[in-house]
Amino acid sequence: MIINLEWWQWLLPLVIASAVMGVYMGWRVMAIWTMGVYFSGLIAHTMGPKLERLINKVLSVFAQFVALAMDRDESAISSPTIDITSPWEPFATGIFFVSLVFLSWWVARKLTNRGELGLLGHLLGGVFGGLAAIVGLAQGLNYWSDFVARSGSNPSGGAGLTVPQISIGVAPLPDNNPLATMICPLMGLFILLILVYTFWRVFRKAI
């Protein structure tokens, strides 16, 4: 038996897991998180080129703080410097983006809770979870395609697993981002669903 998996087929479990989590958490938490994922991409895109300078500035301030705590001159302790070369800049930006995504999840959990949810609220949460995962993957593949373009190689290559009677082949990640044009339509769908669901709740209470 030979099984060939395309790149989207081994990213699909992330979307499914996010959708299942959305069904459990409900639409409130997942709506805030979806917006958080989107704005995390915008922040990472803006801060990416400045990430090296920002990290070095933080390290410099930390070294000065340690020196002052030890009752020494501010310049007594030299801070380490990090040099992010061109091919690795999008990779570092991707890590920064992932950290913002986790931060936005924490914020979403703090701002609201599951509350009382009907069936539609749970299902809408699942839809929002899937949308958030696709938006996040689209942003992540942007950084990946940028890394491939700068480095001139695709390190994901092709992977495979062979066991008796079964051979599983896994395609590499694409060099270009096939999800690049999906972010704006998905966010438009997200806003439309929010509006429809809000109108439905108002109409249901009115009758």
For 107-162, what is each residue's pLDDT tens digit? 888 887 766 677 888 888 899 999 999 888 888 888 888 777 777 766 665 555 44
Helix/strand/coil percentages in the chain, nearest 5: 75, 5, 20
For residues 5 and 41, the model is more confident at: 41
User: Could you identify the residue written with the tokens 């701002």?
Assistant: 111
> Given pLDDT bands bounded at 50, 70 and 90, which one contains residue 90?
confident
Q: Report whether 172 contacts 157 (CB < 8 A).
A: yes
CA nearest to 47, candidates 149, 145, 177, 143: 143
> Given pLDDT bands bounded at 50, 70 and 90, which one contains residue 163?
very low
What is the spatial distance between Cα 176 and Cα 94, in angstroms, rounded to a whole number? 15
What is the spatial distance between Cα 156 and Cα 161, in angstroms, rounded to a whole number? 15
According to DSSP, residue 169 is labeled E
Using the predicted structure, report yes or no on whether residue 42 has a pLDDT greater than 80: yes
- SS3 state at 162: strand
- Give the mean pLDDT of the chain: 77
pLDDT at 87: 77
CB-count burial class (<10 Å; 0-12, 13-18, 19+) for 97: buried
> Given pLDDT bands bounded at 50, 70 and 90, which one contains residue 196?
confident
Phi, psi (deg, nearest 5) at residue 167 = -125, 120
Can you tell me the mean pLDDT for 17-31? 88
pTM for the complete prediction? 0.73
Q: Among 49-53, 99-103, 114-118, 171-175, where is mean pLDDT lowest? A: 171-175
Residues 6 or more apart whose CB falls under 8 angstroms from that of 62 comprise: 79
> Given pLDDT bands bounded at 50, 70 and 90, which one contains residue 199?
confident
> Given pLDDT bands bounded at 50, 70 and 90, which one contains residue 20?
very high
